[in-house]
């Protein structure tokens, strides 16, 4: 059996996000740490934020950002900001928008 590496898992997490497979993505994220011993990188956390955000689980997505062991990247915050718009969460959208501005004040998005 071939063991997946961090790139393989990143791609599968992204596929889960685009397919709306929230439970499978959540399981895979935990599995990569517990079973494969792969420490998630910024891209894995970004996929998890995207997974939850697309599904309308905005508070779960925000919790991922808050608990990441590294500083979030603007792209993950921007994705969540867009999801806040789509799902109508103005309050969280304003909070995320401020964080985007703090991280990258020159970002016109």
For residue 91, give the CATH number of its domain. 1.25.40.10
Mean pLDDT lowest for which of 16-25, 46-55, 68-77, 100-109? Answer: 100-109
Mean pLDDT of 83-108: 89
pLDDT of residue 107: 65
**Angle in degrees, CA 26, 30, 35, rounded to 5:** 140
* Token couple for 13: 């997490």
Q: Confirm whether 108 is domain-assigned.
A: no
Q: Confirm whether 76 is domain-assigned.
A: yes
pLDDT of residue 105: 75
The torsion angle over the Cα atoms of residues 28, 30, 32 and 34, rounded to 10 degrees, is -140
Q: Confirm whether 109 is domain-assigned.
A: no
Residue-wise pLDDT tens digits, 63-82: 999 999 999 889 899 999 99
pLDDT of residue 109: 60
Residues 6 or more apart whose CB falls under 8 angstroms from that of 11 comprise none
pTM > 0.85: yes
Residue-wise pLDDT tens digits, 26-52: 999 999 999 999 999 999 999 999 999
Number of domains within the chain: 1
DSSP of 5-29, one letter per residue? -HHHHHHHHHHHHHHT-HHHHHHHH
pLDDT of residue 3: 86
């Amino acid at each position: 059996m071939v063991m997946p590496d961090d790139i393989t898992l990143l791609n599968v997490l992204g596929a889960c996000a685009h397919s709306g497979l929230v439970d499978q993505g959540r399981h895979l994220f935990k599995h990569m740490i517990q079973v494969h011993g792969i420490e998630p990188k910024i891209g894995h956390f970004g996929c998890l934020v995207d997974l939850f955000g697309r599904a309308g689980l905005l508070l779960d997505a925000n919790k991922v950002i808050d608990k990441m062991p590294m500083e979030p990247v603007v792209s993950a915050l921007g994705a969540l900001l867009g999801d806040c718009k789509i799902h109508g969460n103005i309050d969280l959208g304003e909070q995320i928008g401020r964080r985007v501005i703090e991280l990258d004040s020159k970002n016109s998005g």
